[in-house]
Amino acid sequence: MKQMELAVIPGDGIGKEVVPEALRVLDVIAEIHGGLKFSSTHHPWSSEYYVEHGEMMPKDGLSQLTQSDAVFLGAVGDPALVADHISLGGLLLKIRREFEQVINIRPAKQLKGIVSPLANPRDFDIMIVRENSEGEYSSIGGSVHSGEDEIVIQNAVFTKKGVSRVIQYAFELAQQRSGRVTSATKSNGIVHSMPFWDEVFKEVSTNYKNVQTNSEHIDALSAFFITKPQTMDVVVASNLFGDILSDIGAAIMGSIGIAPAGNINLNGKYPSMFEPVHGSAPDIFGKGIANPIGQIWTAKMMLDHFGELEMGTLLLEAIESSMQSGIKTADIGGSSSTSEVTDEIIANLRN
């Protein structure tokens, strides 16, 4: 029996609604598999927790997570209770950083049964590989002078180590896929970090002669996600560019409510973390109408990460069938409830 220990953080808002749904699905997956079991420890860390305790997680929070095989997160943030930079910084970004989850992977894939906002949604299947630890998201910077003379400097920091490992990861992944890596750059406008990024991309690419490559400026590439997404396979990008591209990816898929993500630890010292791309959506929380597919597809990414590729494929097919049969939440044009969608996915799995 393969036993996977999940550290579960439902977090805020609809995170609390969709995480239990995904866990229901995972139990069914385990049952079908026969030789797989999930056990989970729940952590109530959230904006509400902050209001009560003055911190997003206990002092020893991280060490409570380290023994797990993966962190399974819902959504973080409730601006009505805590400012975003505190809630995100104190939980989501803290785990990404402290657990050295240096890569963020997000698929943008045209699923069956969903209406795309694109008029001609060709059959696209992109995996965005985002640098998750440095780049434009450095906290280095500050200001000089005040009032009308104020000048603020923000530093972006790109290390050879950070850039080459994310690019290498992208090439490895491409070898298991269609064998193409597109690099997001902006070396024509951002003249230090981006030419460096391009250089490292070129250097790493020489080790993967069987992988096709191209480089596109982020402005043009963002447009290509709309005009020709079917031409992309693996897209590798800096922290900021990957962030932007993955939201565009979610949009062309038809709803941010279905998009999943994995934050990958590469050195094996800490667990990886899986979380949907959507936020906590306080506006629809409590109504039972949140789309559970983002969280369930996230569970599929976690299965892949555990090496359970067959189960992952099965689950994605069950998700697609649920949408094809019209059992959908409102964000993708249906009128089903969160639990009805989950029930349908489970029924599809059992078929």
Ligand X SMILES: CC(C)[C@H](C(=O)O)[C@@H](O)C(=O)O
Report the C-alpha gap between 235 and 183 in whole angstroms.
6
CB of 240 to ligand X, least distance (A): 8
Q: Which of 323, 343, 319, 345 is nearest to 332 (CA)?
A: 323
Contact status: 154 vs ligand X (CB under 6 A): no
Residue 119 binding: pick among a copy of itself, ligand X, none (C-beta 5-8 Å cut-off by kind): a copy of itself
Residues 82-121: x/- map of binding to a copy of itself (CB under 8 A)? --xx--x--------------------------xxxxxx-
Please report whether residue 219 would count as binding ligand X according to CB under 6 A: yes
Residues 6+ apart with CB under 8 A from 224: 216, 231, 232
Q: Which is nearer to a copy of itself, 28 or 157 (CB)?
A: 157
- Residue 189 as a binder of ligand X (CB under 6 A): the answer is yes
Is 118 among the residues that bind ligand X (CB under 6 A)?
no
Q: Which is nearer to a copy of itself, 81 or 157 (CB)?
A: 157
Question: Which residues 120-159 are close enough to bind a copy of itself by CB under 8 A?
Answer: 120, 136-137, 139, 141-143, 147-159
Which residue from 66, 188, 212, 231 is in contact with ligand X, where contact means CB under 6 A? Answer: 188
Main-chain dihedrals φ then ψ at residue 106, nearest 5 degrees: -140, 120
d(CA 85, CA 271): 23
CB of 299 to ligand X, least distance (A): 17
Residue closer to ligand X, measured from CB, 186 or 328 = 186
Select from 17, 21, 243, 331 the one that contacts ligand X (CB under 6 A).
243
Contacts of 247 (CB under 8 A, 6+ apart): 256, 277
- How many CA atoms, within 13 angstroms, populate the side-chain half-sphere of residue 1? 9
Task: Give the count of residues interacting with a copy of itself (CB under 8 A).
Answer: 59
The entry of ligand X, a copy of itself, none that residue 79 binds, CB within 5 to 8 Å by partner kind: none
- Residue from 234, 244, 261 nearest 96 by CA: 261
Is 88 a binding residue for ligand X by CB under 6 A? The answer is yes
Strands 2-11 and 70-75: parallel
N- to C-terminal Cα separation, the chain: 24
Question: How many other C-beta atoms can be found within 10 angstroms of the C-beta atom of residue 200?
Answer: 22
Contact residues: ligand X, CB under 6 A? 88, 188-189, 219, 243
